[in-house]
């Protein structure tokens, strides 16, 4: 499609004030002709087919990758509900993303809480078209020291919790005849990494769960996994000294961590109509980290 034709289908040019809510990069030019032009360009570039009006539920959506994904879907014109167990982070995201359709407090490892939060998301948005099944935790520890309680906790959130939310969404979408479920795995689910054996096992589990769900739920519901490599979330940055950050960046062919908004962009694409033929696979976003084993380091 020619750029002119694409622009003709756009909604009216937003005002600088309303556009800024959707386009943070125009901030430096606020109130100028340059700002209007930049906002309009961003509206074109941000546009993913079929996301406007979609109803999206994001678990672990109050922080990091989930929060960036909530912001991205709002920019695309979707209705977004965030589910998180962290009450404080939930209050913050509510202030940060004022367009959210709802913020729900629930622990994904508790089946009853998942069922009632999912029902509340359906009530608030009138249905759920897209699930971003993203909540997860990790604990850095030696394999020899992992306690039974730690093992159970990581499995409960990262695998059982993903299953609980996925099944609630799949039942809802199956009945309605369509939907998209996207689950956050990790490169740790594809390769071995020291000090995260329990976490790695859960992420490998998420990948197999994704593949199996995709086969059973086709052709109505698409199911994919996203496997990020190193993502520089604020919490992750706080754990690094500058030297540690440089060392990890040096192992990545693109020489940097991903920004959470880059993982959000992959979720937006996979949920869009442009990805209508994609199901049952894992999409890696790791700056080339796992492309060549030792050769890529
Ligand atoms: P984060 O800690 O910033 O965000 C995770 C969110 O999930 C938090 O808001 C937390 O409160 C929520 N959460 C945790 N346990 C929960 C539970 N039981 N019920 C409901 N909510 C819960 O972390 P992040 O880096 O944004 O991670 C998001 C996902 O991405 C996780 O699944 C993680 O394993 C995965 N991942 C992260 C990276 C990375 O480098 N940051 C890399 C690969 C995969």
Q: Cα(27)–Cα(42) distance, rounded to whole angstroms?
A: 12
pTM summary value: 0.87
The helix (run of H) or strand (run of E) holding residue 123 is helix 111-125
**Strands of 221-228's sheet in order across:** 102-105, 79-84, 55-59, 130-133, 179-184, 221-228, 282-285
Three-state DSSP state, 20 = helix
**Which pLDDT belongs to residue 81?**
98
**Residue having the nearest C-alpha atom to atom 1 of ligand 1:** 64
**Which pLDDT belongs to residue 10?**
37
Distance between Cα 165 and ligand 1 center (Å):
15
Is any ligand 1 atom within 6 A of the Cβ of residue 113? Answer: no
Is any ligand 1 atom within 6 A of the Cβ of residue 233? Answer: yes
Is any ligand 1 atom within 6 A of the Cβ of residue 61? Answer: no
Q: Cα(126)–Cα(132) distance, rounded to whole angstroms?
A: 17
**Which pLDDT belongs to residue 33?**
52
Secondary structure string (H, E, C) spanning 75-101: HCCCEEEEEECCHHHHHHHHHHCCCCC
DSSP state of 164: H
Is any ligand 1 atom within 6 A of the Cβ of residue 63? Answer: yes
**Which pLDDT belongs to residue 46?**
57
Instruction: Give the homologous superfamily in CATH for domain 49-296.
Output: NAD(P)-binding Rossmann-like Domain (3.40.50.720)
240 is annotated as an active-site residue: no
Q: Cα(21)–Cα(44) distance, rounded to whole angstroms?
A: 15
CB 169 within 8 A of CB 132: no
Provide CB contacts within 8 A for 87, sequence distance 6+: 105
CB 82 within 8 A of CB 100: yes
Domain-by-domain residue ranges, the chain?
Answer: 12-46, 49-296
Distance between Cα 124 and ligand 1 center (Å):
24
Q: For residue 161, give the ligand 1 atom closest to its CA.
A: 18
CB 47 within 8 A of CB 99: no
pLDDT in tens, 108-166: 999 999 999 999 999 999 999 999 999 999 999 999 999 999 999 999 999 999 999 99
pLDDT along the chain (297 residues), means of 10: 34 36 39 48 65 98 98 98 97 97 98 98 98 97 98 98 99 98 98 96 98 98 98 88 95 96 98 98 97 67
Catalytic, out of 164, 196, 199, 230: 199
**Which pLDDT belongs to residue 8?**
35
**Which pLDDT belongs to residue 3?**
31
**Which pLDDT belongs to residue 27?**
37
Q: Cα(55)–Cα(101) distance, rounded to whole angstroms?
A: 9
């Amino acid at each position: 499609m020619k750029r002119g034709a694409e622009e003709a289908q756009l909604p009216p040019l937003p005002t600088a004030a309303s556009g800024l809510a959707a386009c943070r990069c125009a901030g430096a030019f606020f109130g100028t002709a340059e700002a209007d032009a930049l906002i309009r360009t961003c509206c074109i570039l941000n546009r993913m087919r079929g996301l406007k009006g979609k109803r999206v539920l994001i678990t672990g959506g109050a922080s990091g990758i989930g929060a960036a994904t909530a912001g991205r879907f709002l920019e695309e014109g979707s209705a977004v509900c965030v589910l998180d167990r962290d009450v404080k982070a939930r209050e913050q995201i509510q202030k940060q993303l004022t367009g959210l359709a709802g913020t729900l407090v629930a622990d994904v490892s508790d089946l009853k809480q998942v069922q009632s939060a999912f029902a509340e998301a359906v009530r608030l948005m009138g249905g759920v078209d897209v699930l971003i099944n993203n909540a997860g935790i990790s604990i850095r520890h030696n394999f020899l020291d992992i306690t039974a309680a730690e093992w159970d906790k990581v499995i409960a959130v990262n695998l059982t919790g993903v299953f609980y939310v996925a099944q609630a969404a799949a039942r809802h979408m199956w009945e309605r005849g369509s939907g998209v479920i996207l689950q956050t795995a990790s490169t740790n689910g594809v390769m071995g990494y020291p000090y995260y054996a329990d976490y790695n096992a859960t992420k490998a589990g998420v990948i197999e769960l994704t593949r199996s769900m995709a086969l059973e739920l086709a052709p109505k519901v698409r199911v994919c996994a996203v496997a990020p490599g190193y993502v520089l979330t604020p919490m992750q940055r706080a754990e690094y000294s500058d030297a540690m950050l440089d060392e990890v960046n040096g192992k990545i062919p693109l020489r940097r961590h991903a920004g959470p908004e880059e993982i959000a962009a992959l979720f937006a694409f996979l949920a869009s109509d442009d990805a209508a033929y994609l199901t049952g696979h894992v999409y890696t976003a790791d700056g080339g980290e796992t492309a060549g084993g030792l050769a890529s380091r």
